[in-house]
Chains A and B, each alone.
Chain A
């Protein structure tokens, strides 16, 4: 386990910034100066973890350390960063664009489907195309995140079966990907 290098940090922040607005800076300042939160990489996975915990984890052998803190995602072999569903709790409170899904659209989304226009209860205004969005249920529960397929203006003209947002991750993965979600 080690801190991230500069290019790695940049890649990670670029990905997080696709979903989060200005509030992303709270991630760094969270916990205050005494016990701030830091980013650590173990294997290819990046964890958002309390610094005191990260320091304690140095006493665990690298091979034996499976996970600690909140897993944000992992670096692919090509050097890109892929967010995991476990990062939802980190990015959702700071989300820039949101889509609320009606109860009839919750299950299709949680089974891995994209968000259709017919299922959208409401959405953030002025959302451009191909921008990260966080998907919520009508009672403000976080369901997952995705990428907008159309801008809000274009999406208004779309027919009800048209895709509004492409799914990236949903909380159904906790069950569907149970075997592989936390393995390295």
Chain B
């Protein structure tokens, strides 16, 4: 172990003997990238490194700031213990649990018959009421028609009566006149003449 130490120590002592500060500076130089170009790195690489540095540093800075920020925690509703608002489900919307989704088919003969009997009963009722209403309307119409006929008959009768009356009157007047004339002419023409004569005789005039 001690030999090795000696071997290791020799070169260091040599360099250290020349100038203590010098070799330390030299050894530091290759570590520092900002100093003169190191012997092992090509110029192009050096350039690229120099260009990459500022950008890379900035990026690393930006990244370094975010992770330090504490992440916002998302709380669930249960954790927050918020009181439930308007939690009532209307009766029409609420569906019993475990109910089958989708359409309910009617395929068995019994349920079909049940539906049909309901429909038939409704239809029969409708038809019956329709027929009844039609009959009633027909009766009313018939009664109105009979009434109207009666009225028109009466009117006609009255009209006929008045017509006959007028005819009779006319006839009567005519017949009276004729009668008078006829009687005068046929039965007692002499008397009439006499009367006329008498009448003429009786006439008095005042002067």
Contact = CB atoms under 8 A, between A and B. Distances in A.
Interface of A: 2-6, 9-10, 13-14, 17-18, 22, 24-25, 28-29, 36, 38-39, 96, 126, 128-129, 131, 151, 153-154
Contacts of B116: 13, 17, 24-25, 28
Interface string B107-151: 101001101111110110001001100110010000000000000
Contacts of A131: 127, 130
Given A128-B130, A129-B134, A6 B123 contact: no
Given A25-B116, A28-B116, A126 B131 contact: yes
Interface residues of B, number: 22
A153 B130 CA distance: 13
Most chain B Cβ neighbours within 10 Å, of A18, A25, A128: A128
Contacts of A6: 104, 106, 115
Contact of B104 (A5, A25, A28): A5
A128 to B, nearest CB: 4
Given A6-B104, A13-B119, 8 more contacts: A6-B106, A17-B116, A17-B119, A24-B116, A25-B116, A28-B109, A129-B130, A153-B138
Given A128-B127, A131-B127, A151-B134, A10 B107 contact: no
